[in-house]
Each structure stands twice: as structure tokens, then as C-alpha cells.
Amino acid sequence: MPFLHSPALLLLLFLSLPFSVQSQLSLDYYHKTCPDFAQIVHDTVARKHATSPVTAAASMRLLFSDCLVGGCDGSVLVSSNVFNHAERDAEVNRDLPGDAFDVVTRAKITLELSCPGIVSCSDVLAQATRDLIAAAGGPSYKVELGREDSLVSKVSDVEGNIPKPNQSIDELIKLYTAKGFTIQEMVALYGGRTIGFSNCKEFSDRLFNFSKNTPTDPEINSKYAEALKKSCADYEKNPATSAYSDPVTPGKFDNVYYQNLLRGMGLLASDHALVKDPRTKKFVEMYAGNQALFFKDFGHAMEKMSVREVKTGGKGEVRTRCDAFNSINHH
């Protein structure tokens, strides 16, 4: 069908496309207005990673929660969203460890001294997450800059927008495809769980209450299950008790997470679900055998994640403090 290649038709199709918000972002957005931006974030990340290696996983979770809920606009950083609703909203609280807030806050304070009122908190989060992943041994990828911070932050927006530990594969696929990701991109993003940890309460049913006659999920690797039972023995008394998502190389960003899944060592029910369904298992097997491919696909998926529904062109603001809207700061 040669007419499909008509330059005039292609131009017409291009002109009919809506103007993309993303096109207002750029890799060198702060080149003139805040030339030390990249160095300040990099140095802050390096210091934080050296003292608290779990920050990379924390920052990635924070970015995911921000971008999946309302777009990458720093709404999740506003203190009223998280801390005042911690009891009511365990999902947000679970996914947003303090180390991630700390690294964003430290970088932002330094940036405000160097170039006040220029760099958005959402850009700091996106850049810091990429640098932290690289510091943990993961891939570096491009971070487009120029996001504005949200003017609204509602806890009620969270429900149904971020994955839960016990969701079925159908529910996970539905969630990610609704956000514009392919099944393969979803599996690649799940590889980020090669670093970090989960609280025992999130998978305790798989260990102690799987079914009436079988307390432990028989599909968990038996040695792994026994080790987890010991680690999580008193999780009811101590809710902070947790286990690494990847017990083999917990602090290193690599493809071992996928190798673990194939050995029956998926920590959460949602981790294990990835190897039970043919739609996702083929990608698990592919990434388990090819770390370079995983890094490439993860990087591309993160580039896509970190520009999801960004605000530009005056639809948001550049916050002075990441945990509060500017209108509050002026009171």
C-alpha cells in the first residue's frame, strides 16, 4: 500500500497530533539557569548511598508511587499526603521510606542555595533515582528535565493506582496497561525489586496461613521458606520485620531477581505470579538469562515512567520546599 508512505500524508498525520507536554522537557533544561544541578544531585546521592544503600530502592518506590498515581509531579512528597495519613493509608506508607525523602530534601536545600527557585522537586526525584540506581550497579538512562511540581496532593488518589503485594497477574497487567505500559515493560520494571525489601506482613500468609491444610505455599522453594519463617517469626509483635526482595545479591542491581523467581524464590505473591503466567514468564526467563537486555529494557521503561503525565507550561509550580506547596510557605 504505497500511499501510506506519502510525505504529504505523514506531514498531515504529524500536524494533527496534539502538542506533547513531553516535548517541553529536555536533557539540558538547567544548562543555563542552574549549571551545577547534575553535580549537586550526584554528590548528594553519592553521600547518601554510601551511608544508606537502601536509598536506591526507596527512591525508586517513591518515583513509582508519584508517577503512577497522579503523574510525575512531586505530589507524593507533600507531607500532608503521607505522614498525616500513615495509619489510614498503609499502602502509601509502606512504599515511601524516609531515606528517599531525605535524599530529595538534601539535594533541594543545596540547589536552593545555588540557584533559588529554579529546580522542581519532581526533577530532583527523577534525577536522584536514576543516579541512585546507577550507584547500586544498575543502568544509567536519560532523564528529561523541566517538570513542574503539583498544586494538589490527595491521598484518595492512591487507591487502585499502585500495585499491591497480593495482586493477581490479571490485576497487575490491567493496572500497568491502563497506565500505558506493555506487559514486557511491566516485567522489566518489576526487575527493580532486585534491590530493597518488603515487610513480613506483606507475605506472611504465604508462610504461615496459605490454606487450611497447608500453612506454607508449596510453590515457595522449601529452603527459602524455612529461612523466611525464621526471619519473620515475630512479625506480629514487630511490624518492621522485613526480608530482602533478592536474598542472593540484595544490595546489587542485577538480574538475579529473575533467576530467583525461576527457583521459587519470589518473595511476594505478585513476584511469584510473574512466573506462573505465560504472558509474563517468557520475559522473566529472557531477563534471567541476559542482564544486558534487562538493563536496556529497564532503562527505557524508566525513561517512560519518569515522564508520565508531567506538568509543564505553568500547570504547576517550582516548590521552595518539597514537602509543602508554596502558598503554604508564604503564610
Residues annotated within a binding site for substrate: 163
Question: Please, what's the b/e burial string for 1-38 (b: 16 or more CB within 10 A of its CB; e: otherwise)?
Answer: eeeeeeeeeeeeeeeeeeeebeebbeeebbeeebeebb
DSSP code, position 214: -
280 φ/ψ sector (left φ>0, alpha ψ -120 to 50, else beta):
alpha
Q: Which three cell numbers stand for residue 302?
A: 524508566
Q: What number of residues does the chain have? A: 331
The rounded Cα 91 to chain-centroid distance in angstroms is 14
Residue 223: Cβ-neighbour burial (10 angstroms; 0-12, 13-18, 19+): exposed
Asked if 9 contacts 3 with a C-beta cutoff of 8 angstroms, the reply is yes
Residue 79: which of 304, 331, 328, 330 has the closest Cα? 328
**Which distant-in-sequence residues (6+ apart) come within 8 Å of 169 by Cβ?**
273, 274, 276, 277, 279, 280
Question: Cα separations (Å) of 10 from 2, 4, 14, 20, 118?
Answer: 12, 8, 6, 17, 38
Binding-site residues, in ranges, read 66, 69, 71, 73, 75, 87, 163, 194, 246, 249, 254
List the binding residues for Ca(2+): 66, 69, 71, 73, 75, 87, 194, 246, 249, 254
Element of type H or E holding 41: helix 37-51
